[in-house]
Amino acid sequence: MKTKPHKDNYHIPATTDELITDMELNPERYKHLQFILNRQKHMGLGLGQLYLVVNETGFGVYRLDDVDYENSIIRLSFSNPLTGNFAEISLDIDNKHPQLFLINWLDIEDMVYKEMVYDFIGNELLELENELP
C-alpha cells in the first residue's frame, strides 16, 4: 500500500509501522497524538497494559487490547478488566485536538506510592522534631 498525499505536503503513513516511524522522525507533526502518557519510553504500543482513559464523557481504567491504523484513523480497542466489556475509540491523525488521554496505570500507582512514602517519612520526621529537648 502506498502513502497518499496530504494537505501539508507530506505523505500520510499507510501502515502502523510507517506511522510510528514518521512520529519518531517528525515529533512536531504529531504532538497532538501524544495522548498516551507513560514515563517509560520505547515500551512499544503498550498492549495488555492498564490505562486510565479520560475523555469528554468520563474516565475509567481499561486494558489496551489492540491498536490498528488505516486511512489516517487510529483505532484503540480496550476492555474493562472488571466487567470484560469492550470499547473502541477512533482518532483521526489530522485532528489537532483529540479529546482523549491515556495514562499508564502503573505510573499512577507509582506516583501514589511515592506520595504515600513521602508523607509517611515527612510525618515521622515531624514527630521526631517534636520529641527533641
Q: Is 127 inside a domain boundary?
A: no
Q: Is 100 inside a domain boundary?
A: yes
The boundaries of the domain holding residue 69 are 4-105
Instruction: Write the CATH number for 37.
Output: 2.30.30
- The number of folded domains in the chain is 1
User: How far apart are the C-alpha atoms of 20 and 17, rounded to whole Å?
Assistant: 5
Q: Is 46 inside a domain boundary?
A: yes
Q: Is 131 inside a domain boundary?
A: no
Q: What is the pTM of this model?
A: 0.70
pLDDT confidence of residue 5 = 47
Q: Is 73 inside a domain boundary?
A: yes
Which of 37, 44, 39, 2 lies closest to 20 in space, CA to CA? 44
Q: Is 111 inside a domain boundary?
A: no
Checking if the pLDDT of 20 tops 90, the result is no
Tens digit of each residue's pLDDT (9 = 90 or more) over 66-85? 999 999 999 999 999 999 99
